[in-house]
């Protein structure tokens, strides 16, 4: 690890309400020495309509929306403050790339477990090759001072399991098996996900570029 001293005054605001993502980001940034804030620090509870056609467009919608909301709150901008948004999801070959950008709301107002059961039922009898799936993550980062925006992406290839008894893990983790493994991400655990995951890949690129820090 290097560069911790230089990072002492840096602040990063996570523009998300998603607890699963916040938990993962906290682990991915742990030990670096950056100060974290999230939307609750600004009492922001609302969210924009994510009607982009791509992960990148949705991440852009979120960063612009929360940037304006935070500006309205009278937050004092310093050069070392960054805002980060993220849009992610899963694309399944057999479903022609669905749920994709609609991953959070696929199947309507149902629980995560019901959503995973819905996917498993749609893929009933479908061969492993057609069960191919990919997690995708797009991170946007904006520096409050010069308003320069940057984008970082990551992906994780795998396939959808035939069944799942892995409970209520984050999103599609109870039914997603990474390539080269034979159990779901929920079973494999967070340590492995932080090494091979889509969010981790995008985050590592971002940390290296913006904070000049290698994990
Ligand atoms: P959004 O980016 O807030 O639109 O939501 C992305 C959705 O994709 C999440 O609510 C999950 O359903 C799914 N998703 C994204 N990344 C992951 C992951 O790492 N594990 C499980 N599900 C994920």
Confidence of residue 2 (pLDDT cuts 50, 70, 90): very low
Question: 190 C-alpha vs ligand 1 centroid, how far in Å?
Answer: 15
Tell me what pLDDT residue 140 has: 97
- Alpha-carbon span 68 to 42, nearest angstrom: 12
- In 3D space, the residue among 95, 64, 102, 91 whose CA is nearest the CA of residue 198 turns out to be 91
pLDDT digits (tens, 9 = 90+) for 130-139: 999 999 999 9
Among protein residues, the one whose CA lies closest to atom 7 of ligand 1: 104
Question: 128 C-alpha vs ligand 1 centroid, how far in Å?
Answer: 22
Residue that wins the pLDDT comparison between 213 and 11 = 11
**Predicted structure pTM score:** 0.92
pLDDT digits (tens, 9 = 90+) for 152-167: 999 999 999 999 887 7
Among protein residues, the one whose CA lies closest to atom 23 of ligand 1: 171
Task: Select from 16, 20, 87, 193 the residue to mutate for testing ligand 1; criterion: most ligand atoms less than 8 Å from CB.
Answer: 20
Tell me what pLDDT residue 1 has: 41
The answer, yes or no, to whether residue 105 has pLDDT greater than 60, is yes
Tell me what the mean pLDDT of segment 148-155 comes to: 96
The angle that helices 198-211 and 19-28 make with each other, rounded to 10 degrees, is 50
Task: State the number of CA atoms in the 13 A half-sphere of 98 facing the CB.
Answer: 12
Tell me what pLDDT residue 8 has: 64
> Rounded mean pLDDT of the chain?
91
Question: 135 C-alpha vs ligand 1 centroid, how far in Å?
Answer: 8
């Amino acid at each position: 690890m290097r560069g911790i001293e230089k990072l002492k005054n840096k602040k990063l605001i996570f523009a998300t309400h998603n607890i699963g993502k916040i938990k993962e980001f906290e682990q991915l940034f742990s030990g670096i020495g950056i100060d974290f804030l999230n939307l609750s620090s600004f009492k922001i509870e609302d969210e924009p309509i994510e009607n982009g056609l791509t992960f990148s467009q949705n991440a852009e919608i979120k960063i612009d929306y929360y940037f304006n909301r935070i500006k309205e709150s009278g937050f004092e901008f310093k050069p070392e403050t960054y805002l980060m948004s993220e849009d992610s999801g899963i694309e399944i070959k057999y479903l022609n790339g669905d749920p994709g950008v609609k991953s959070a709301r696929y199947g309507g107002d149902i629980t995560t477990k019901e959503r995973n059961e819905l996917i498993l039922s749609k893929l009933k009898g479908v061969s492993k090759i057609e069960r191919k799936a990919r997690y995708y993550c797009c991170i946007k980062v904006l520096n409050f001072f010069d308003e320069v925006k940057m984008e970082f992406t990551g992906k994780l290839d795998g396939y959808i399991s035939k069944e799942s008894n892995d409970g209520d893990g984050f999103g599609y983790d109870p039914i997603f098996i990474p390539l080269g493994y034979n159990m779901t991400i929920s079973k494999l655990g967070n340590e492995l996900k932080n090494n091979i995951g889509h969010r981790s890949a995008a985050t590592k690129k971002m940390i290296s570029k913006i904070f000049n820090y290698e994990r």
